[in-house]
Amino acid sequence: KAKDTYILKGEGVETWHPAFTYHGFRYVQVEGFPYPPKQGDIIVHVVRTAVRPTGKFKCSNPLLNDIHQMIVNTEASNLHSVPTDCPQRDERMGWLNDLTVRIEQAIYNFDMSRFYPKFIDDVADTQDPDGSVTCVAPFLFGMRPADPVSASYLLLAWKCYEFYGDERVVREHFPGMKKWVDFLYSRTENGIVNYSYYGDWCPPKEFLMDPNGSGVSRDTPGLMISTGYLFYCAGILSEMASVIGNEADAVYYKKMASEIAAAFNREYWNEQSGGYASNNQASNAFALYMGLVASKNIPRVASNLAEDVKKHDYHLTTGNLCTKYLLETLTENGYAETAYKIASQTTYPGWGYMLSKGATTLWERWEYATGDAMNSHNHPMMGSLDSWFYKYVLGIQPDIQHPAFQRFVLRPVIFEELDFAEGELNTVKGLIKTSWRKQGKQLIIELTIPANTLAKLYLPAKKLNDINESGKFVTRNNEIKLLNVETGNVILEVGSGTYRFNIRNYTK
């Protein structure tokens, strides 16, 4: 227990507060108070690293707004010099496996441009001569070497480059990240990484290896996840090598990624089922997100994935990692409404179920469980849904080829059950604002594009003539350039400024 003891002197007014610690809690229980407490008798100080909020999200579904706030609450209460797993028990450590899918969500909500470069120093500080890092940074306890799912070591640098243009952190940590990837490669046998601890951690209880024990998945092979992450890391490392002008390493690690991809498909692709491993949600979403599926097989795998979600009455069966990949791959492959149904569930397992049980922050498990076991009720690892809100409901996505939002993508998905969505992201280039709303047979999209930036805008229109901007034909605005007209979308390049697009005859 994270517990403080204070003995009163008993003379006059006494003031005390804990030093060198903090406590995460929701309720205060006071015993022996001389009168019913009144407002002001108990004062609570909010303590966390002072990262400023950068994002806002709102839509016509109050449930999604509450989920968003729950995720923001959880992330905010787990930023204390390191990105902690929970604030209320005495663990409070920087678990790298949780962080792998949490990084992006945090960046959409807070300015992490100084926080993450500091934390990657903590990760590097755990590195052994063989290149391995630890599961937790700074290291107190956990696994050495870290689980291969700890792609967060590379993603910390890569996302700082993508969102903030921070090439320095890539350059400084490239040797260490290279050693970590080389270590994982040294642990392969016929291209398959030979160890796993967590894998897709904490799926719903009925999909656990031991429903009464730890959070290891029963149906998603740990070695498959480990191997997929080596492929992912090798690919990222190759791209980072190109950024810093190291073409030899760019070629080498691209070749390594290709070798691992071949082994992954040889070992886990099932031609008969049209899916990977057990053909469950996690395995198929993971393979799709990582880019491991042969192009000819993508429609089949995506269809399998959507059908499995439908079979489970639009509920997820994934854990902390593959929940992110499930929602994003469904959306990217034509099943956005299926992803929406998962996100908006109010029954177990799901975020709405947590809210129905009175949650104000995310749980460690999908189940409503209490007591001293692994039952944290303030745990950000299931919060990757929030990046889906920003990337797909609002449509704000950076472009890695033009980091720090020099150029970026605006591609909102207009969901059937939503009437409007609006939000913003305060980037290093300035404020991006986006909103869309249905208005009869029209769709109104309003945007703010920062100075000296360009947005690639996808408008859901059948033809260019269905669109006007501020009452004028779009091509009459010198800041707008037509890029393409494809099935269901008109694609424009839009320069800095404020815009109001009206799409006539809009149908889903």
pLDDT of residue 349: 98
Higher-confidence residue of 218 and 34: namely: 218
pLDDT exceeds cutoff 90 at 42: no
CA nearest 287: which of 242, 231, 336, 247? Answer: 231
Question: How far is residue 42's CA from residue 203's CA, in Å, rounded to a whole number?
Answer: 39
Concatenating the DSSP letter of every residue in 74-88 gives HHHTTEESEE-S-SS
Question: Is there a contact between 106 and 72 (Cβ–Cβ < 8 Å)?
Answer: no
pLDDT of residue 212: 84
The H or E element containing residue 163 is helix 152-164
For tokens 């690892």, the residue is: 381
Token reading at 242: 């190109």
pLDDT band at 127 (very low <50, low <70, confident <90, very high): very high
pLDDT tens string 70-91: 999 999 999 999 999 999 988 8
Give the mean model confidence (pLDDT) for residues 45-50: 92
CA nearest 107: which of 376, 354, 397? Answer: 397
Distance of CA 370 to the CA centre of its chain: 26
pLDDT of residue 227: 98
Question: How far is residue 24's CA from residue 47's CA, in Å, rounded to a whole number?
Answer: 10
pLDDT of residue 420: 98
pLDDT band at 475 (very low <50, low <70, confident <90, very high): confident
pLDDT of residue 18: 84
Question: How far is residue 276's CA from residue 240's CA, in Å, rounded to a whole number?
Answer: 29
pLDDT of residue 457: 98
Higher-confidence residue of 20 and 59: namely: 59
pLDDT band at 282 (very low <50, low <70, confident <90, very high): very high
pLDDT tens string 336-392: 999 999 999 999 999 999 999 999 999 999 999 998 888 999 999 999 999 999 999
The H or E element containing residue 457 is strand 442-459
CA distances for 353 relative to 25, 122, 338, 346, 461, angstroms: 21, 36, 18, 5, 36
- Weakest mean pLDDT among 18-27, 121-130, 257-266, 487-496: 18-27
pLDDT band at 44 (very low <50, low <70, confident <90, very high): confident
State the average pLDDT for the chain: 96
- Weakest mean pLDDT among 295-304, 343-352, 374-383, 475-484: 475-484
pTM here is 0.96
Question: How large a percentage of the chain has pLDDT more than 90?
Answer: 86
CA nearest 181: which of 132, 118, 119, 128? Answer: 132
pLDDT tens string 331-350: 999 999 999 999 999 999 99
pLDDT band at 117 (very low <50, low <70, confident <90, very high): very high
pLDDT exceeds cutoff 80 at 508: no
pLDDT tens string 424-439: 999 999 999 999 999 9
Question: How far is residue 506's CA from residue 156's CA, in Å, rounded to a whole number?
Answer: 40
The H or E element containing residue 423 is strand 420-427
The H or E element containing residue 256 is helix 247-268
Token reading at 80: 């204390």
- Weakest mean pLDDT among 109-118, 126-135, 157-166, 461-470: 461-470
Question: How far is residue 44's CA from residue 12's CA, in Å, rounded to a whole number?
Answer: 21
pLDDT exceeds cutoff 80 at 1: no
